[in-house]
Amino acid sequence: MPDAGCRPSSPRSQWRPLVFDLLTSISKLVALGADLTDVIERATIVPATLLGIADEGYGTLAVGSPANVTVVEEVSDQLMPDAAGNSIVAPRYEPVTVLSKGENISITPWRGLNQ
């Protein structure tokens, strides 16, 4: 996996609209064989570092950090299409609890394409 996300040579015009949310993308990557720890790191501390906010505690769990946390659970197999028209059926991660700056916020988890 590239360290900084998609390749800069990818033209924007080739992007298609089937990226629902970050947890769907994480679920797809893990289903395709990526290591969960590696994917979580690349979805948290790597972007925080690239944005220059890691020194403020973003992208990590540490005493004194902003406490922006999403607790997830692995749920049953879901149909997950991609932008190229392919689909996989695999377990999906869904949020259980979300904290923003330490405050519990209301969430509505994604429940699949037909729900």
Of 57, 19, 26, give the one whose Cα is nearest residue 40. 26
Position 49 pLDDT exceeds 90: yes
Q: Evaluate whether 95 touches 109 at the Cβ level (below 8 Å).
A: yes
pTM here is 0.73
Q: Please state, rounded to an integer, the average pLDDT across all residues of the chain.
A: 82
